[in-house]
Amino acid sequence: MEGVFTQTLVSGILIGFIYALIAVGLTMIFGMMDIVNFAHGEYLMVAMYFAYWFFVLFGMDPLYSLPWVTVLLFLLGVITYYVFIRPIINAPMLSQIFVTFGILILLRGVAQYLWKADYRMIPQTLTSGNVSIFGVYVGVSQLVAAAGAIICNGLIFWFLKSTKMGMAMEAVAEDKEAAKLMGINSDRMFALAWGVGIATVGVAGSLLSSFYYVFPEVGSNFCLMAFVVVALGGFGSVPGAFIAGIIVGLVEVLSGYLIAPSLKFMFVLLLYLGVVFIRPQGFMGRK
């Protein structure tokens, strides 16, 4: 019994790292522009398809295609900003919601048209198989994905806090008009935020594709949890998203193990509601 509990605990931590990686791009975009990207999960789906087709067409393992997928998703994020988001930056929030939701429908519809509703999976990768760590069996793919999530979150935090470009982005997020007076081009910073935010799901999609099915609705399986993670950690807080991702992963798997698998999402949402009532800005968010 103790071994099963430990196995469950480790699984929760590993999936929590993935949630954190997906959520960090979402919270970065919101922190910069106060726009909620409802299509975030669909960009994850696009990244997974890119990784899959790199494998099918060129024989590239997801680890090898990860840089390419990340760059492609960065460019897709920048294009999304200039084509769809920039025209509605100052529009009412309802218009912004409709635009990002429309992008969700567009990307999912294109995926269903091009690749149908079939479930696809990369059969064998460099990270296939399991490894035993102190008696706990962990999938190598999940372990690599967790390590990638930790590294990516760390790099983003370093970028925001230790580089001129990152500090410029934070200045724009704090006060766009004041940053403009200091010579910071807010339009470029917004484009960069979308590029980096979407690039993070490029990393997540590449890592997930090595052990998870690829299909047009795959993004919805992770996007809901990403929104919960962002709300728990605090909208706009990168460290908050990282901590909240681990908490959500643990609550999900432990409630499924200790109570009932069919109720595991209910307890995650109850945790979310509790935080909303007690601390609406999240763990590390600001009022």
Q: What would the pLDDT profile of 189-219 be if each residue is shown by its tens digit?
A: 999 999 999 999 999 999 999 999 999 999 9
Q: Tell me whether residue 287 is in a domain.
A: no
Q: Tell me whether residue 154 is in a domain.
A: yes
Q: Tell me whether residue 95 is in a domain.
A: yes
Q: Tell me whether residue 15 is in a domain.
A: yes
Residue stretches of the chain with pLDDT short of 70: 1-3, 285-287
Q: Return the CATH number at 230.
A: 1.10.3470
Instruction: Report the pLDDT value the prediction gives residue 2, as an integer from 0 to 100.
Output: 59
For the stretch 104-126, pLDDT in tens is 999 999 999 999 989 999 988 88
- Which of 277, 216, 272 has its CA nearest to residue 23? 272
Instruction: Report the pLDDT value the prediction gives residue 270, as an integer from 0 to 100.
Output: 87
Whether 152 and 28 have beta carbons less than 8 Å apart is answered as no
Q: Tell me whether residue 283 is in a domain.
A: no
Residues in contact with 24: Cβ distance below 8 Å, sequence separation at least 6, in sequence order = 152, 153, 156, 197, 200, 238, 241, 242
As for how many domains the chain has, the answer is 1
Instruction: Report the pLDDT value the prediction gives residue 155, as an integer from 0 to 100.
Output: 92
Host domain of residue 207: 2-278
